[in-house]
Structures are given as structure tokens and as C-alpha cells.
A and B are shown apart, each in its own frame.
Chain A
Amino acid sequence: DVVMTQTPVSLSVSLGGQTSISCRSSQSLVHSDGNTYLYWYLQKPGQSPQLLIYKVSNRFSGVPDRFSGSGSGTDFTLKISRVEPEDLGVYYCYQGTHYPYTFGAGTKLELK
């Protein structure tokens, strides 16, 4: 199985600040169809996960441009700029390239 390693486990950030989360996969996430199925989700307290970024760097509908994704192969990053209160929660990376699909363990974003 592909292991998704997220760092850090937790982050403390000031409102209006900027931060980033790293996600590394144990094998390349480039699919034979040429796509890289690396996604980022945010789970706010008491809520279901919500899609932020799909296929490495594409923002999902309604996601503010404060969120950006980058990376390739096995190394990916989610950047959050101008952090707002509604950004707090647990961020998960996820790979849909290889079966079984797998998630990272999560990164908890808290206010400083």
C-alpha cells in the first residue's frame, strides 16, 4: 500500500499568517494515464471532510485562492495564505492513483 506521510502533525498559526503542509508518498503518484491523483481535504471540527485541491494543484469549486497546491511525483505541498478562522481543522492528503486508495494521518491547524 502507498503510505502517505504528512508533516507536521500539528501547526499553530496566527490569523492572517501563512503556512504550509507537506505530504510525501512512498511511491510515485503519477498514474499510467498521466494524471497525478493527489488531493487535499479539510475536515473542520464536527464536520465531514471537504475537498480543497484535486490533482495536485487544482482548486475545487468555491475554494478561495488562499489555498494552493504544488508538487510532483512523491512530494507535495499545500500552502495556506492569509489564514482565516474558518481554515482551522485537520488537513488530509489523499492518493487515488494506486489501489488501495490511502490518506495521510492528518495535520491539525490551530490558532496561535
Chain B
Amino acid sequence: EVQLVESGGGLVQPGRSLKLSCAASGFTFSNYYMAWVRQAPKKGLEWVATISTSGSRTYYPDSVKGRFTISRDNAKSSLYLQMNSLKSEDTATYYCARAQSMVTHRGFAYWGQGTLVTVSS
């Protein structure tokens, strides 16, 4: 069974940093692209970042580019999101998501339960 468990969320002041983690199990982690998707309170979904299987390629929307960094440790089956220069608009539940398949990496088939990040002074 595919499992994705996020951790690392919490309350952080504007301008500070936070690092999220996602522990994966139930599949061969190194074979799949991975992603982070967020959801502001009572709002819709926003794609945040995607990383290739080896970690050599990363993709971001302009809203987080230059502030957020996605990374992975295939030996530990873990995904990370380093978030710097946090803003109030980054307040959201952050979901770790696995690509649909080893071939199709542009959609997400499995999602974690999410971790809440609150940016406030």
C-alpha cells in the first residue's frame, strides 16, 4: 500500500524558513517523480514543485521559484521542501504527492494527509 506521510509543518514568522519532509513507503520511491501541492485554508489546490526521479530536474511555479527548493533522498525514500522567505500567502496545508506512474509524471496518483504551515507574526 502506498503511504506518504508529511511532517515539519507549524507556525513560523514571515521571512523565516521551514523544511517539510515526506516519508514514502509501499513503492519503489526512486522510480517516481514526486511533487508538493498546497491548499490555502478554504481555498483550492496549487501545484508547488515537482522533482525528477534522480533529483536532477526540478520545476516550480513563479509564486515560489527562488524561495522554495524541492529535494529528495532516494536512499531514505524521503521527499523534502525547503521553504525560505516565507510570506503570509504561503499559509496552507502542504501535500506530498506521487506521480501517477513511472511513465506518466505529470499527474498525481497518491497524496499524503498533508501538513499545515501557518505564516504569521
A residues within 8 Å of B by Cβ? 1, 31, 35, 37, 39, 41, 43, 48-51, 54-55, 60, 92, 94, 96-97, 99-106
A selection of 11 A-B contacts at a CB cut-off of 8 Å is A35-B104, A43-B45, A48-B95, A48-B112, A48-B114, A49-B111, A55-B107, A94-B45, A99-B61, A100-B61, A101-B47
Closest to A106 in B: B44
Instruction: Tell me which residues across on chain A come within 8 A of B110, comparing CB atoms.
Output: 51
Given contacts A39-B107, A92-B45, A100-B61, whether A49 and B100 have CB atoms under 8 Å apart is no
Residue ranges of B at the interface with A (Cβ–Cβ < 8 Å): 37, 44-47, 50, 59-62, 95, 100, 104, 106-114
Inter-chain contact total with CB atoms closer than 8 Å:
61
With A102-B47, A103-B45 known, 20 other A-B pairs at CB within 8 A are A31-B106, A35-B104, A37-B104, A37-B107, A49-B111, A51-B100, A51-B109, A54-B100, A54-B107, A55-B107, A92-B44, A92-B45, A100-B47, A100-B62, A101-B47, A103-B44, A103-B47, A105-B44, A106-B44, A106-B45
In the complex, are the beta carbons of B59 and A99 less than 8 A apart? Answer: yes
What chain A residues lie within 8 Å of B50 (beta carbons)?
Answer: 101
Query: Across chains A and B, which 6 residue pairs bring their CB atoms closest together, nearest first?
Result: A96-B106, A100-B61, A48-B111, A101-B47, A103-B45, A39-B107
Closest Cβ–Cβ distance, residue A11 to chain B (whole Å): 16
Q: Is the CB of B45 within 8 A of A54?
A: no
A-chain residues with CB within 8 Å of residue B44 when the two chains form the complex: 92, 103-106
State the CA gap A92–B47 with chains docked (Å). 13
A103 proximity list for chain B (CB < 8 A): 44-47
> What is the minimal beta-carbon distance from B103 to any residue of chain A, in angstroms?
10
How far, in Å, is A25 (CB) from chain B's closest CB? Answer: 14
Closest A residue by C-beta to B108: A51
Bound CA span A37–B101, Å: 13
Q: Which residues of B lie under 8 Å from residue A54 when comparing CB positions? A: 100, 104, 107, 109
